Amino acid sequence: MKADAHTQVTAICEALRHGQRFLITSHARPDGDSIGSQVALALALRRMGRHVRMVNRDEPPAAYRAFAGVADIEVAASVDGDYDALIVMECGDLGRPGVAGLERYRIVNIDHHPGNTAYGAVNWFDASYAACAEMVAEVIDGLGVPLDADIGAAIYLGIVTDTGGFRHAGVSARTFDVCRRVTEAGVDPARMARLVFDSSSIGRLRLMGALLEGMALESGGRLAILSLDRALLCRTGATPDDLDGLVNLPLQVRTIDAVVMFKEAEDGTWRASARSKGEVDVRAVALRFGGGGHTNAAGFDVAGGDAAARAAVTAAIAGAIAAAGREVPPA
């Protein structure tokens, strides 16, 4: 651990040791890292005899309900009650949870997104961590709570999902060290992979086929464009839960450097999810459209049904691809 990280972890552990009642939240549309980070710290604080309540705006993805602690997450649009601190995981700013009433609490902010706005009373954000759950492992160490199979599974869930199965930029020796330790504590990586990656519904598989059938290519085949409206979701029998990670599918192709998926939400609004390889910076594109994320994974709201709006997004990502040069020559 670097000296500055050590100072931040110490400050967080101080804040947590001195409190008795905690609220933990994370971002809307939760993913494996937000759920894993939340649950790992909640379980650790409960081992210390603390009262912990977890509240998110949206339900956890169904596949993650098999993990200990996930069933305790409440879904609510607002929070109240007395707590010694609110721990916000994985959120670059305080709007990301989409839960009302957060600003009244003393906030502990733990995050690995670049550009975190330091909205907490205690802040630790460091984009060098592959997952927020990797940071949470250090906080739990700082609290002196031993890793067990349940805490370890939550940490592993965060890491294995946020790294795309240890394939994304940011995976380091520290990442494997945390995973080594949770494996030693009883986590079975093969079982985790089955729970996390081989838990699809038949609707998801049909949706994959339909999405790829409709895929368009731009930038000389380097950019894939996917479009998912509610009619397609309905026709394939997939549920919103089935969408997680589908945007990554085209990246399996050697010559594809970036993907954008336009997705229609249940309320009829559209969102764009962008993924990329190597130096192709989709975060910079997302920032231009009012969103955010990481270099290789970002998202933003967009008028996705509008051809001109889609063309603007496509052109921006094509520009990012051109700016990054080419690592893999075409076959």
Interacting residues toward Mn ion by CB under 5 A: 33, 132, 162
Q: How far is CA 30 from CA 75, 83, 230, 250, 310, in A?
A: 11, 23, 20, 23, 26
Please, what is the minimum distance in Å from the beta carbon of residue 214 to Mn ion?
A: 29
Please, what is the minimum distance in Å from the beta carbon of residue 53 to Mn ion?
A: 22
Instruction: From 134, 149, 103, select the one nearest 32 (Cα to Cα).
Output: 134
What are residue 295's phi and psi, to 5 degrees? -50, -45
For residue 185 the two structure tokens come to: 């504590």
Please, what is the minimum distance in Å from the beta carbon of residue 13 to Mn ion?
A: 21
Please, what is the minimum distance in Å from the beta carbon of residue 116 to Mn ion?
A: 12
For residue 52 the two structure tokens come to: 């912990």
Q: For residues 175 and 69, give the distance between their C-alpha atoms in angstroms, rounded to a whole number.
A: 23
Beta bridge partners of 297: 275, 294
**DSSP, res 249:** G
Q: Which is nearer to Mn ion, 34 or 227 (CB)?
A: 34
Q: Which is nearer to Mn ion, 270 or 300 (CB)?
A: 300
Q: For residues 108 and 119, give the distance between their C-alpha atoms in angstroms, rounded to a whole number.
A: 9
For residue 221 the two structure tokens come to: 């085949």
For residue 116 the two structure tokens come to: 């975190």
Any residues with CB less than 8 A from the CB of 195 and at least 6 apart, and which? Answer: 63, 66, 67
Q: Which is nearer to Mn ion, 126 or 162 (CB)?
A: 162
Q: Which is nearer to Mn ion, 33 or 126 (CB)?
A: 33
Please, what is the minimum distance in Å from the beta carbon of residue 316 to Mn ion?
A: 24
Q: Which is nearer to Mn ion, 88 or 207 (CB)?
A: 88
Q: For residues 326 and 320, give the distance between their C-alpha atoms in angstroms, rounded to a whole number.
A: 11
Q: For Mn ion, which residue has the nearest CB?
A: 33
Please, what is the minimum distance in Å from the beta carbon of residue 33 to Mn ion?
A: 3
Q: Which is nearer to Mn ion, 54 or 238 (CB)?
A: 54
Q: Which is nearer to Mn ion, 152 or 304 (CB)?
A: 152
Please, what is the minimum distance in Å from the beta carbon of residue 158 to Mn ion?
A: 7
Q: For residues 140 and 67, give the distance between their C-alpha atoms in angstroms, rounded to a whole number.
A: 18
